[in-house]
A and B are shown apart, each in its own frame.
Chain A
Amino acid sequence: MSATATIRASAPAPAPGPAPGSPAGLNRRAVVVCLLLAVVTVVLGVVTITAGELGIALGDLPAVLAGNGTRAQEWVLLSNRLPRLLVAVGAGAAFAVSGSIFQSVTRNPLGSPDVIGLGAGAAAGAAAATLVAPDVVPVPIGALIGGLAAAAAVLLGAGRGFRAPYRMVVVGIAVGAMALAFVQLVLARTTQQEALQLAAWLNGSLQSRQWSDVATVAVSLLVLLPAALALTRRLQILEMGDDAATGLGVAPSLTRNLAIVVGVALTAAAVTVSGPIAFVALTGPQIARRLTGSSGPGMVAAACTGATVLVAADLLAQHGWWGTQYPVGVLTAGLGGIYLAFLLVHETRRGTA
């Protein structure tokens, strides 16, 4: 099972598909970065499993994984720590790839799904599916509908589509505020018990995840990651401008629409299992670009970075020095907000904003 954990943890690793950023298909630096990130993720994962009062000592881990641990140990690992860890890996990857798609489509690092209100939209959809019409619509579908509705609202609201990314961002903030208000409204309408659960989820939390959550995010990634990879080259060409892309045989609006659908679906999948965790979609692709030194929408690198970021954040949220367990979304919102501020100042200095 140790091997399983390793493979799972590095699932979005670079082996399949050409690495973006180089026409030859293989960018050595990107591959190295992804491998390193995978290793870091595995190490962080092992720390996550072994840390804390109930943690399983490193020496015991192989035995527990082989099925020879005590019942308590097996419960901790299989029902508690492992699903949580795997959801963190999957959701982190999904958020970051979605962010990479949106940043590429809008040609702007601020165009990420959490800034333009898609995460909040997906959360509203999931909340509606959970509480307003339970058993009618499955939660992931509800999240998807909510995310798509928010995307449509942002596009229509901005009026000029993606030609004015900054307009889109401001409209996105408004749409996000409305979506969150809707979630609050749903919260106010439900029983206290349901409301408490939803409130915890609303921050973006990985507490008490189950294998069903792992399955949800794993299946989504299996379907959507290849789709994202297939779009990578076209998006990269699109970044050169619509005219250039048309000249090279890439249909701009079709590519954009496909990419948005894939991006929204990824956000919805991640939000379904982890709640709207803030700023992983914003930071993941940016860190990936800096690490790999590439300028294109490197999906694989983004996926690896997102997974590492979220696993690290969750580890910190669980076992930081503050003594309480925070929902991981609180942590990413704090750190991500600071990063967004840095990005604003930085972009302004460069005169691109």
Chain B
Amino acid sequence: MLAAGLSVAVGSKTVPLGEVWSAWLHPDDSYASAVVASRLARTQLGLLAGAALAVAGAVIQGLTRNPLGDPGILGVNAGASASVVLVTAGLGATAGRSVWAAIPGALVAAAVVYLIGSGGPRGRATPVRLVLAGAAISAVLAALVQAVALAQPDVFNSYRFWVVGSLAGRPEGTVGRVLPFVAVGLVFALLLPRSLNALALGDESATALGLRTGRTRALGAASATLLAASAVAAVGPVGFVGLAVPHVVRSFAGSDHRWLLPYCALLGPVLLLGSDVLGRVVARPGEIMVGVVTAFVGAPFLIAAVRQGRAGL
């Protein structure tokens, strides 16, 4: 709540708090009103995308028993971006704005990264190999995005800012378009906590406890893909939220997924909106795209996770 309030009240344009309040309650044609309206829109986006990214990260970490899980690091965001850009280049901007455009790329990237990370169909995917595979696939897909974008200047222009990850300048109605997908993804995720807890004990124990591991993985993968793809379609490929938030939550709520997932859904927006506000305040009168800020805030968590030896290195 506080983060959302800040996100509305503080921005790169200085508007007195009183004016913000009145413009919020009684929208008119004033400048302050326009500013507040745009801030409201980006706040809603931040709430959605933050929750989606954080829960996706937690689900991926639970499914793969991999503390380095994050849709950005594992290439899922890159896959979603690539398919958004390809669809836009091929079918036009309207088609490209749909979440449907992001889903196939996210799915394919996730599958390919998993296959490479496990060294072929029969190998075992270690956390580090997955990260490396994610980096490799992200590089290839980023190159693809660049190639398409550079060949079509209009695509380049509309995606130049999106690709960095930003809550600003999204077309109207983005929230409404993305909301159903995030909702379905969250519902899937909320079916999972017990299964993820069982899975944490290892596949054999989980099976012995009566868990159908295949079904859990499929549901989890669907949930994470939906969430990551909708976040990317809405705000661009923002990294590290899915990595950092579950780690923070675990430090105070433990690793029981029944608590972990809801807390992530709450704390993800806090991190994303906080980063967004920070980006607006630091760079006044301009602003720093939120994807840049989350990299600064989130990357140390990756280092910390490695240092604490949770990656099994």
Contact = CB atoms under 8 A, between A and B. Distances in A.
Contacts of A67: none
B135 A115 contact: yes
A226 B136 CA distance: 32
A345 B119 contact: yes
B147 A279 contact: no
A185 interface: yes
Contacts of B313: 164, 166-167, 170
Given A345-B120, A348-B119, A170 B131 contact: yes
B150 A330 contact: yes
A152 B116 CA distance: 30
Contacts of B307: 157-159
Interface string A327-353: 100110110111011001101110001
B133 A341 contact: yes
Contacts of A166: 128, 313
B299 A175 contact: yes
A84 B147 CA distance: 21
B240 A177 contact: yes
B150 A324 contact: yes
Contacts of A29: none
B136 A340 contact: yes
Contacts of B135: 115, 173, 340
Interface in A162-181: 164, 166-167, 169-171, 173-175, 177-178, 180-181
Contacts of A323: 151
Nearest to B147: A330
A174 B147 CA distance: 25
A188 B116 contact: no
A184 interface: yes
B40 to A, nearest CB: 23
Among A175, A177, A184, A189, max chain B CB count under 10 A is at A177
Given A174-B299, A326-B146, 15 more contacts: A157-B303, A157-B306, A170-B313, A174-B303, A175-B299, A177-B240, A188-B289, A189-B283, A326-B150, A330-B150, A334-B147, A341-B136, A344-B129, A345-B120, A348-B120
Interface of B: 68, 73, 116-120, 123, 128-129, 131-133, 135-140, 142-144, 146-147, 150-151, 164, 239-240, 283, 286-289, 291-293, 295-296, 299-300, 302-303, 306-307, 311, 313
7 nearest A-B residue pairs (beta carbon)? A348-B119, A337-B139, A337-B140, A181-B295, A334-B143, A340-B136, A333-B143
Interface of A: 110, 115, 157-159, 164, 166-167, 169-171, 173-175, 177-178, 180-182, 184-185, 188-189, 203, 278-279, 322-324, 326-327, 330-331, 333-334, 336-338, 340-341, 344-345, 347-349, 353
14 contacts: A157-B303, A169-B131, A170-B311, A171-B303, A173-B131, A188-B292, A337-B137, A337-B138, A338-B140, A341-B133, A344-B116, A344-B119, A348-B119, A348-B123
